[in-house]
Amino acid sequence: MKTLANYFFRGLLVLFPAFATVYLLVAGVRWADGLLSNLLAESFGVVVPGLGLVIVLGGVTLMGFLFSRAFVRPILSFLERLITRVPLVSIVYSSLKELTEAFVGDKKKFNKPVLVRFPGSGVHRVGFLTRESLDDFELEGHVAVYCPHSYNFSGNLYLVPSDCVSRLEINASDAMRYAVSAGATELG
């Protein structure tokens, strides 16, 4: 039963951020479209299709701008401290925050594309170097490489000898696109 619960929570951690984001964006677009359509129709007799989408995309961008300003950081830090004190919520929140920051934050982790060679097998895998020292795990000479799954929002973390990893001289977003598309995307 414990294994089943672990699978459920792992699935929740993978699915929740994607579905929550899509749900919030769709709900926001519908709300803005309904509100603006009614307001414009009643006031001016005009209906502008897609205005809700423009408003929501603009609003999300505006929030990103505001949250990147220095005067908002103390407020966000305070709210984050409150969230991290709630037992289950803190695990979900911190995991989602770290994953998001790995892709788009100031602490990007997936910006060093590498090729991992699995000795003796002739197999190579495209991945991203996420940690260059694993001394905490007493794995001297090893590195952490994240390899995304193809056509999926998941991946595996491999702890491999550093001599089995070679840097790829390509753009990190091209390497991610290549790995996620199962090699179907052209490079360059």
Is residue 95 predicted with pLDDT exceeding 80? no
Q: What is the pLDDT of residues 112-131, one digit of tens each?
A: 889 898 888 888 888 888 88
**What's the whole-number average pLDDT of the chain?**
78
Lowest-pLDDT choice from 39-48, 65-74, 77-86, 177-186: 177-186
**How far apart, in whole angstroms, are the C-alpha atoms of residue 31 and residue 126?**
42
Q: Over 70: is that where the pLDDT of 137 sits? A: yes
DSSP state of 185: S
Q: What angle do CA 106, 111, 112 make, to 5 degrees?
A: 140
- What pLDDT sits at residue 9? 64
Banded model confidence at residue 10, pLDDT cuts 50, 70, 90: low
Identify the CA nearest to 118 among candidates 160, 59, 82, 77. 160
Pairing of strands 165-167, 113-118: antiparallel
Higher pLDDT: 174 or 10? It is 174
pTM, two decimals, is: 0.48
CA distances from 48 to 19, 38, 127, 136, 155 (A): 28, 10, 45, 58, 42
The residue behind tokens 């595996």 is 156
pLDDT over 70 at 47, yes or no? yes
Q: What percent of the chain has pLDDT over 90?
A: 0
Residues with Cβ within 8 Å of 179's Cβ and at least 6 positions away in sequence, in order, are 126, 127, 147, 148, 150
Q: Kindly state the average pLDDT of the residues 52-66.
A: 83
User: Following DSSP, what letter does each residue of 142-165 receive, concatenated?
Assistant: EEEEEEEPTTSS-EEEEEEEGGGE
Report the pLDDT averaged over residues 70-96.
78
pLDDT at 151: 66
Token pair of 110, please? 């997936």
